[in-house]
């Protein structure tokens, strides 16, 4: 058994499900500020070990 086995998942949130203007159903709308979430999980149990999100506003604030 290998010690400290982890796997990562990258999730990109750049659209939002919202209601249609005519009131029937829904439509996908683009986010003004996309978000990326990086999650690290334990390779044996699948439990979340660490997660962090990054947005385009984070990149602008750092400059």
Output the 3-class SS for 8-56.
EEEEEEEEEEEECCCCCCEEEEEEEEEEEEEEEEECCCCCEEEEEEEEH
pLDDT at position 59: 67
pLDDT at position 63: 52
Q: Is the pTM of this model over 0.85?
A: no
pLDDT tens per residue across span 10-54: 999 898 888 888 888 889 888 888 889 999 999 999 999 999 999
pLDDT at position 62: 57
pLDDT at position 11: 94
pLDDT at position 12: 92
């Amino acid at each position: 058994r290998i010690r400290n086995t982890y796997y990562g998942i990258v999730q990109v949130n750049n659209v939002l499900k919202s209601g249609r203007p005519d009131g029937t159903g829904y439509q996908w709308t683009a986010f003004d500020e996309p978000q990326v979430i990086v999650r690290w999980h334990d390779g044996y149990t699948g439990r979340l070990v660490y997660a962090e999100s990054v947005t385009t506003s984070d990149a602008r604030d750092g400059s």
